[in-house]
A and B are shown apart, each in its own frame.
Chain A
Amino acid sequence: MRKKRFLLLLFLTLSFGAKAFISVPPHDRKITLKLTNVSMEVFLDAMKKQTELNFLYNAETFRGVPYISVEVKNEKWNSVLNKVLASRGYEYVVKNDIVVIRLKQKTDNGYVRGVVLDDRGEPLIGSTIIVKRRNDRDLYAITNSEGTFSFIAGGNEESISASYIGYEKEILKFKTGKFDYKFQLRSDNQLTEVVVTGIFNKPKVSFTGAATIISKEEIKASGNRNLLQTISHIDPSFDVQEQNATGSNPNASLNIEIRGTASIGSVQELQTNVRNVRNLPLFILDGFEVTSERVMDMNQADVESVVILKDASATAIYGSRGSNGVVVITSVKPETGKLRVSYTAGLNLEIPDLSSYNLMNSFEKLELEKIADLYTSTDFTTQLKLNELYNDNLTSANAGVNTDWIHKPVQTGVGQYHKIDIGGGNDQFRYILNMSYNQLTGAMKGSKRDNVNGGMTISYLLKKVRFTNNLNLGINKGESSPYGLFAKYVTMNPYLRPYDDNGEPFVSYTTFGSSLLYNPLYDAAQTSFSTNDYTNIRNTTMLDLDIMKDLRLNLSIGFTNQKGGTDQFTSPKQSSYLQLNAEATSAGSYYQKRDEQSSYQFSLTTSYAKILGEHSLFFGVNGQLMETQTNSTIVQVRGFVNDQMTDISNGISYYGEKPSTTESTVRSVGLTGTLNYNYAGRYFFDASYRVDGASSFGSLSRYAPFYSLGLGWAFGSEKFVKKIFPFINSGKFRYSYGVTGSLSFEPYQALTTYEYNTTSQYTGLIGASILGYGNPNLKWQNTIQHNWGIDLSLFNNRLMINANFYRKSTDNLLTDSYLSLSHGYSSYKENIGLIRNTGYDMQASVLVLKAMNNTLNLYLRGGLSHNKNVLVKLSDAIKRANELYSGQNYSGGTISEYREGHSVDDLYVLQSPGVDPQSGEVLYLNDDGTVTTSHADLKKISVGSSQPKINGRIGSSLHWRGLNLDFIFGFRLGAKKLNLTLLNVENSVAKNNSDRRVLVTRWQKPGDITGFKSIKSTDSTNPNNRFVFTEKTLTLSNVNLSYDFPRNWIKRFNMERLSFVTSMSDLFYWSNIEMQRGTDYPYSIKPTFSLTCTF
């Protein structure tokens, strides 16, 4: 009731305020009055007339007040008023020259209330209130779940202070008659105050781990296409590795590593993408594990914050899942307020960037072919045919045919984006509903990825119980381009016409040799397709309980189900079938894969926080229970008679024998305890312990312990530091040590399993034999990590530096272990081997400019990371398997190897001192230093790691009123790269089109001194150190410009907010290595425009 009236008064006050006009200071007004038996209203009216002040009151409150009589002469108006009001239980206050009359409020022995808020206006729960009293002991209180406190005032109070870990203490003077105190604590550094670890929320100030915290605003300023890329734009230690082949393919999965490779698979796996899967960080969304693909597809506008946990102190609470690093994503939380509707519409473009291609034109290509003797033969009839071919090609060239093949399969992809958010609620009930549609259209014709995301979050916030439910839906559909590999178009000869006179693509061309050259555009015009899709439903329910003071309990239950699959249809008219003269019963194929994954998780957390004077303690226990089931079925059929009938049911027979299924169920439990102690805000101690049990561990080592210890010293808060280095605002040293694990093995490898022989029977009986020895001792890989860190904030918080140095050793590496043949099986899984990663990461930000009343800000930000990876010890089985690969060479790229003492990422190539100027042959260097022209039996050498020595970011952001401009540059230094384009120039079979450098750089006649072998050579040069370069690359990863329209301007349209954002990704790429980028799928420049309005 009181509150409502107050609001009403305030409203009236504001509306009267403008009319008030007072020429004499009101306190000096003296009045003379004589009134008998009048109502309060009449009295006040008389006062108003004489003082010319505005009086504001609610007449209702005077009901029942007896009539009054007043007689004064030349007295001060306020003393008159006071006299009349005080005796009748009223008082007055003067606000904006308006005299407000109200019922007298209790002061003595009344309740004093207060609220403690953080700098974002959110209540701070559990903050300490100390009330200093005259001649009495201090009074202590703790804020409750709404951030409020209250105490009964005794009249001797002097001051009230509020403090909370990670915030600056605020002291307010106690004023008699003031009952509401509002504290808004400033966090004591400018970083966000809490580290959300996904299980416990730890106070940032005493956190001893290495973590990068990315706020919603940063995501907005650097965001473009997907969240994974955005994170890597901000923090270089979240390393999205460059994949030159896949370019900007929207459907390509990304390779991500944090602090290097810690798990290896077999040598065969090393050649494929499987190794990467083993090293992916763990993604936690609102407390529950999600796949990296899901993160890629989720809407980044729905993200409140992202925390990258890197060291053991931060990740030990994830135990056996933590050693690859953990990325904790928190989705937006509903806020109070009236119903808000916000709508964003966007347009995104993918403009193919083919600037790295420098191909020959028709005449150049013909010249090359001639020089390479492609048109000469010793056989007479062949020579006649070749003459004819040359004439045809020359005629075409002369007629102006110079087909720009590489532009045929590409387009400017135009996609759209729509998002609608509805949110609001009051103190008790809040909600968000959102729905978005994001259509990405790739730079290669026909490739696209569509995402629909929907979410619904509701929260009930009661005094001791808080309930939140979050339901999410993600629907994805990806389509690959029917145009196939981009590389095919690069090799097509420019003098060939792509289409006939009717505009239909030619099927094939006659060219050198007996086989036909098929037109990739013909294949693109067929009915083949390749699609991926999935539907993901996720529900999480969270219940928070305040059991008692300082003790909280959180129960959460999560469930995820994802169904999806892959469909690939190859038309029977596809050139590959024409080439083979395939029979109708085998031409055309359909591959269908159906996947289902469902998982659930229960999590129970209790946390206890207590502050006693200078000591503050945080203690948490968490129990988790998880199950994940996956199932996938593959069906392949072939023999499609009609290429228009593309349904799988039109296939004639199974391809292979039968459909195949893979299945797995993994269960795990985890119990975690964490302790955080902070003394005087200067000395910190952090410890975590977790026991993990998982069904995939061997039965003899079912439970795994993980732990971490951390120490911190906020030296910046020491008095002597403040004295000697006054420019230090805050500074902290951190050290942590811990053991985490990774589960990089198949779920059933610990078991000895029998497999039934389903293809043959034995005298009518079925048989089964073991797949290999299970290893009941099989356990997780242990990663022991040391992390040294420093956080600094200098010069009035204008410069902030945050650096970490780490050493990470992964022991018990899970690999194939060698078994002597007498065991009947040549290998089994065991924990042998050691990988070490050492490195550092660093981030700094500078406030360069702060002017015009803080409306103009310019920040510069930078970050860099370095990682060195060494395979310290390997199992015999790995070494044996590696022997196979160390002897192999492949002209299309390097073959990865595992060698002790080297990095997983090392490039192994042959040594070549150059090209023999006399013969134009490639020279190779033997181990003993002798030079040879044959590459048989040569040993490859390591030329260094293909990972950059330094991976960095430099960015700037400029804010001026509603205008924000952000730039992010990325740079990579020191990686060894094989320039495949140059190798292709050397290897280019003159039949195919290739980089222009072929013509000018290849050896043509004796005496030519050049780095490239004879143009006539047809044998292939294997990767060698002539083509390995040290990379220096600079990219302009993102430019983002946004403008928030001024509020008073948009108010006219009943809008609360209107903003316009435009951003460009991958705008610019400069590298000292000139090579073709995006060989299978081109890179693209990605501009995005979007407009958001909120009502």
Chain B
Amino acid sequence: MKKIIYLILGILPFCTSCDDWLTVEPKALSSKDKIFESESGYSDALIGLYLEMQNIYKPSNFMVGGNIENMANNYMINEGTSIAYYLYKHDYAKTDVDNVLGSVFLSYYKVIANANVLLEALKVQNVLSEQMAKDIEGEALAIRAYMHFELLRLWGPVPTAVNASSLYLPYVSVASTDPYEYISYDKYVSKISTDLLRAEELLLDVDPLLKHSNSEMNTTWASQSDYSTLFWYSRQKRCNIYAVKGLLARFNLWIGDKQKAYDYAKEVLDAKNLNGLSKFTLGSRQDFSSTNYVFFSEHLFGLSITEFSSYDNNLAFIGRYASLVNSQTNINAKLYEYQSDLRQSLFISTYSYSFGATVWGTKKYTSMTTTDYSSPKSIPLIRLSEMFLILIETAPLSEANQYYATFRAAREAAYTPLTDSNRNLLVLKEYIKEFWSEGQSFFAYKRLDWPVLLMSNMSMNESNYILPIPADELGNYK
């Protein structure tokens, strides 16, 4: 019997180390625990967020030049049973439409889920320098807030008609498989605000753009002695401190806090490099010569893209099969009212088979192929021009007119002072002209609860502006 006891005692220590032995790391993938053991892992996870955002913001995808512009009726469309047509008509009930909207909804929350896994890891990390930790947390928080804000702009209420007791969407700040809680508008916006302000605070300590100009940081190698890794460069294509401030301006305008919107927009506009020159400047015709059709100098935040092939572009914006187009007449008559404008030069005329007519498509995204070396390859998410438009909308009239004059001059357009009565309409028109195929028009309409879409004269009501929660989110299955 003693022998048996010895035998069992002999086996026991062998079992205690089982747990370690039973933890196996995959080789082709990296587990959450393993990736966050090194500095580069955190960087990789952060960059992963931007790569995920490409799924939403590729030029022809839903949120840039795609269906969001159809929802603003900026493109013409053939009647029929296409998803684009249902969205154009704001008929969200069809199953196919629900599937498409569901996948957009999912993509946003996918970025959020990734941000949350990263943020949770940051809370317990001990491998990063303080500077790096602050920057990563700042960018991740800003992206989380940005994505939630986008969800609110799409699925949330018209900001002037909020039902205080309604539960709109979940604001997700944990990574969990438990159901998330739907919360009220007030709670939701306060969470966006908290995240953005915290991001601003963090980035204010560390963002290289505070000391260096964009041109200094937009290099493809580490050229500044104080920033020795590529991680700190190309800030314009990251959610930098000015992107956060720009987002705060956009966000405050949405929730109706005009003063704060004005303050943040002004701060961005006034931001100077150490040499006294403006941080961001309005683009000009000269940009076109270097295939910079997106006015990169205006980008507070642009999403880098490696490749938007000419093939994709031809199907979407400028070829014979392009569908994201409108007629020259419509654009000239309804938008530019036959006045000359720098932005008209961004259109290309082409014959379209599907419409049987000559149409206009934007050439903003034509220079984003791998072989186009001079192009900035940045998908515009927030631009300086939007700061101008916010100031024009929120400043006292006389001050607003100064900004308006500067802005119109930069766009080689005639300037007529705004009046209190036409200010909103003219600003709205500027949004459509400025952000053609950039996905912002619909939100301008929705924020102002505008009763009609300018390019089609389609009348709008509140329900047209609010997307229904996708069926797969509600999940009722037999």
Q: Which residues of A contact B (CB under 8 A)?
A: 547-548, 551, 553, 604, 606, 608, 621, 623, 661-669, 671, 693-697, 699, 702, 747-748, 751-757, 760-771, 773-775, 817-826, 828, 830, 876, 879-880, 883
What's the Cα separation between A763 and B230 when bound, in Å?
A: 8
Is B31 part of the contact surface with A, judged by Cβ < 8 Å? Answer: yes
Name the A residues within 8 Å of B35 (CB-CB).
Answer: 754, 768
Please tell me if B175 contacts chain A, counting CB pairs below 8 Å: yes
By size class, the interface of chain B is 35 or more
Q: A547 to B3, Cβ gap below 8 A?
A: yes
The 9 residue pairs across chains A and B that have the minimum distance between CB atoms: A824-B113, A767-B47, A824-B110, A763-B234, A769-B48, A767-B48, A824-B109, A695-B24, A752-B32
A822 pairs with B24, CB closer than 8 A: no
B161 within 8 A of A: no
Q: Is the CB of A754 within 8 A of B112?
A: no
Q: How far is the CB of B367 from chain A (nearest CB, A)?
A: 17
A591–chain B nearest beta-carbon distance, Å: 20
A822 with B180: CB separation less than 8 A: yes
Which residue of chain B is the closest to A771 with respect to CB atoms? B29
Q: Which residues of B contact A697 (CB under 8 A)?
A: 22
Nearest-neighbor residue (CB-CB) of A759 within chain B: B306
Contacts A/B (CB < 8 Å), 27 sampled: A551-B4, A669-B21, A693-B19, A751-B31, A752-B117, A753-B30, A754-B32, A755-B29, A756-B30, A757-B48, A760-B306, A762-B50, A762-B51, A762-B304, A763-B237, A764-B233, A765-B230, A767-B47, A770-B32, A818-B475, A820-B474, A821-B106, A821-B473, A822-B169, A823-B177, A824-B110, A876-B477
CB contact list, B268-316 vs A, under 8 A: 304, 306-307
The distance from the CB of B423 to the nearest CB of chain A, in whole angstroms, is: 38
**Structural contact, B44 and A767, CB atoms closer than 8 A:** yes
Known: A623-B11, A662-B28, A669-B18. 19 other contacts (CB 8 A): A551-B3, A621-B8, A665-B24, A693-B18, A694-B22, A695-B22, A753-B26, A754-B30, A754-B35, A762-B51, A762-B304, A767-B49, A771-B29, A773-B113, A822-B169, A822-B473, A823-B177, A826-B106, A830-B177
User: Which of chain A's residues has its CB closest to B46's CB?
Assistant: A767
Residues of B within 8 A of A (CB): 3-4, 7-8, 11, 14-15, 18-19, 21-24, 26-33, 35, 41, 43-52, 54, 102, 105-106, 109-114, 117, 169-170, 172, 175-177, 179-180, 220, 230-231, 233-234, 237-238, 304, 306-307, 470, 472-475, 477-478
Q: Which of B19, B177, B473 has the most CB of A within 10 A?
A: B177
> Is B51 a contact of A880 with CB atoms below 8 Å?
no
| Smallest beta-carbon distance A27→chain B, Å | 58
Give the residue name and chain of the A residue nearest to B235 (CB). A763
A residues in contact with B177, CB < 8 Å: 773, 775, 817, 819, 823, 828, 830
- Residues of chain A contacted by B15 (CB below 8 angstroms): 669, 671
Alpha-carbon distance between A146 and B49 when the two chains are bound, in angstroms: 71
Residue of B nearest to A631 (CB): B27
A763-B45 Cα distance, complex, nearest whole Å:
14
Q: Could you tell me if B473 and A768 are in contact, using CB atoms closer than 8 angstroms?
A: no
CB distance from A452 to the nearest CB of B (A): 32
Chain A: CB-nearest residue to B101: A821
The complex places the Cα of A826 from the Cα of B114 at a distance, in Å, of 14
Residues of B within 8 A of A762 (CB): 47, 50-51, 237, 304
Docked pose: A880 CA to B8 CA in angstroms = 50
Q: Which residues of B contact A621 (CB under 8 A)?
A: 8
In the complex the two chains form, is A663's CB within 8 Å of B27's CB? yes
- On whether the beta carbons of B470 and A765 are closer than 8 Å, the reply is no
A763 to chain B, nearest CB (A): 4
A757 to B110, CA, bound (A): 15
Q: A695-B23, A751-B26, A764-B230 are in contact. Are A770 and B114 (CB under 8 A)?
A: yes
Whole-angstrom CA separation of A613 from B341 in the bound complex: 109
B51 near A767 with CB under 8 A, answer yes
How far apart are the CA atoms of A112 and B172 in the complex, in Å? Answer: 85
Q: Which residues of B contact A765 (CB under 8 A)?
A: 43-44, 47, 230-231
Given that A606-B7, A695-B24, A822-B473 are contacting pairs, would A766 and B44 also be in contact in the complex, using a CB cutoff of 8 Å? Answer: yes
Alpha-carbon gap, A747 to B28, bound state (A): 13
**Interfacial chain A residues near B43, Cβ < 8 Å:** 765
- The interface centre, meaning the residue of B26, B30, B172, B472 with most chain A CB atoms within 10 A of its CB, is B26
Chain B residues near A699 (CB-CB < 8 A) = 23
Given contacts A695-B24, A761-B306, A820-B475, contact A754 B48 (CB under 8 A): yes
Contact of A825 with B170 in the complex, beta carbons under 8 Å: no
Residues of B within 8 A of A551 (CB): 3-4
Minimal Cβ-Cβ distance residue in A for B175: A773
Q: Which residues of B contact A608 (CB under 8 A)?
A: 4
Inter-chain contact B32/A825, CB cutoff 8 Å: no
Give the distance to chain A from B373, nearest Cβ to Cβ, in Å: 14
The listed residue (A667, A751, A824, A883) touching B21 by CB distance below 8 A is A667
Docked-complex contact A663 and B26, CB < 8 angstroms: yes
| A767/B11 contact (C-beta < 8 A), A752-B117, A825-B113 known | no
**Least CB distance, B98 to chain A, in whole angstroms:** 11
Minimum Cβ distance to chain A for residue B462 (Å) = 23
**Closest-CB distance, A882 to chain B (whole angstroms):** 9
User: Shortest Cβ distance from B183 into chain A, in angstroms?
Assistant: 12
Closest to B30 in A: A754
A491 CA to B50 CA, complexed, in Å: 54
Q: In the complex, A770→B112 CA distance in Å?
A: 11
A435–chain B nearest beta-carbon distance, Å:
37
Q: Are A668 and B230 in contact (CB under 8 A)?
A: no
Using CB atoms, name the residue of chain A closest to B10: A604
- Between B44, B48, B472, B478, the greatest number of chain A beta carbons within 10 A of the residue's beta carbon is seen for B48
Contacts of A671 in B (CB 8 A): 15
* Separation of A819 and B113 alpha carbons in the complex (Å): 13
Please name all residues of chain A whose beta carbon is closer than 8 Å to the beta carbon of B102 when the two chains form the complex: 821
Expressed in whole angstroms, the Cα–Cα distance for A748 and B27 within the complex equals: 10
A548 and B22 contacting across the interface, CB-CB below 8 Å = no
- Name which of A669, A756, A764, A767 has the most chain B CB atoms within 10 A of its CB: A767
A634 to chain B, nearest CB (A): 13
Decide if B112 touches A824 in the complex (CB within 8 Å): yes
Q: For A695, A755, A820, which residue has the most chain B Cβ atoms within 10 angstroms?
A: A820
Q: List A contacts of B111 (CB < 8 A).
A: 824
Q: A751-B32, A821-B472 are in contact. Are A768 and B48 (CB under 8 A)?
A: yes
